């Protein structure tokens, strides 16, 4: 086959493929195109490199996401703020309006956390930014309710549930 017939076959194959994809082009004789303009190298395009943390910090401040992200750091950085031993026995349940709601796994840890609350609030404000946290609300494990269930009787108190 000659070079001309190879080009015609290649052009026909391309047209068939384009038509198959739904992008059929008009069949026109190809003109010689000028080579594309030379693109500068990537190194030439970068004038000043900027660290990504600077860009992200600018984005956070522009969008006003600072307080919301500080709130999520209460959950993620809790072991770092209070220490591993306290973090093993406590869990941050909720953070809203400057109040951190914490659940302790025993009444002893709830009392301990209540006594440590001023120090923990100070450490949280150091870590998250001044004034983010005003107080900590600590709850211990919840006792079972005797209001309903197989041993409850309407009109009688909890002492009458055991027979």
Q: What is the pLDDT of residue 10?
A: 81
- Taking CA atoms, 46 is separated from 40, 51, 103, in Å, by 10, 13, 51
- Gap between the Cα atoms of 96 and 87, Å rounded: 20
Identify the residue with better confidence: 86 or 152.
86
Three-class SS state of 133 = coil
Residue 107 has pLDDT above 60, yes or no: yes
Adjacent-strand bridge partners of 99: 96, 135
Domain ranges for the chain, please list them: 67-163
Residue 159 has pLDDT above 80, yes or no: no
Q: What's the pTM value of the predicted model, to 2 decimals?
A: 0.53
What is the β-pairing status of strands 99-104 and 90-96?
antiparallel
Task: Identify which of 27, 31, 8 has the alpha carbon closest to the alpha carbon of residue 19.
Answer: 27
- Rounded average pLDDT over 96-104: 88
- Gap between the Cα atoms of 59 and 53, Å rounded: 10
Q: Tell me the pLDDT tens digit for each residue of 116-153.
A: 999 998 988 888 777 778 899 999 888 766 667 776 66
And the tokens for 133? 């946290």
* Topology, domain 67-163: GMP Synthetase; Chain A, domain 3 (3.30.300)
Rg (CA), the chain: 34
The answer to whether residues 92 and 104 touch, using CB atoms and an 8 Å cutoff, is: no
Residue 13 has pLDDT above 70, yes or no: yes
Write down the mean pLDDT value for the chain. 78
The answer to whether residues 27 and 19 touch, using CB atoms and an 8 Å cutoff, is: no
- Rounded average pLDDT over 12-32: 68
Identify the residue with better confidence: 31 or 72.
72
Burial class (CB in 10 A: 0-12, 13-18, 19+), 102: buried
> How would residue 24 be classed by pLDDT, with cut points 50, 70 and 90?
very low
């Amino acid at each position: 086959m000659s070079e001309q017939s190879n080009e015609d076959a290649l052009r026909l194959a391309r047209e068939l493929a384009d038509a198959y994809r739904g992008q059929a082009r008009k069949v026109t004789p190809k003109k010689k195109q000028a080579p594309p303009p030379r693109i500068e190298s990537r190194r030439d395009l970068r004038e000043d490199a900027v660290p990504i943390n600077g860009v992200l910090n600018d984005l956070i401040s522009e969008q006003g996401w600072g307080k919301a992200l500080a709130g999520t750091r209460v959950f993620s950085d809790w072991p770092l703020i209070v220490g591993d031993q306290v973090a093993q026995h406590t869990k941050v349940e909720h953070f809203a309006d400057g109040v951190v709601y914490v659940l302790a796994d025993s009444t002893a840890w709830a009392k301990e956390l209540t006594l440590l609350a001023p120090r923990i609030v100070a450490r949280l404000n150091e870590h998250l930014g001044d004034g983010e946290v005003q107080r900590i609300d600590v709850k211990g494990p919840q006792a079972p309710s005797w209001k309903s269930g197989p041993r409850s009787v309407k009109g009688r108190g909890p002492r009458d549930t055991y027979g």
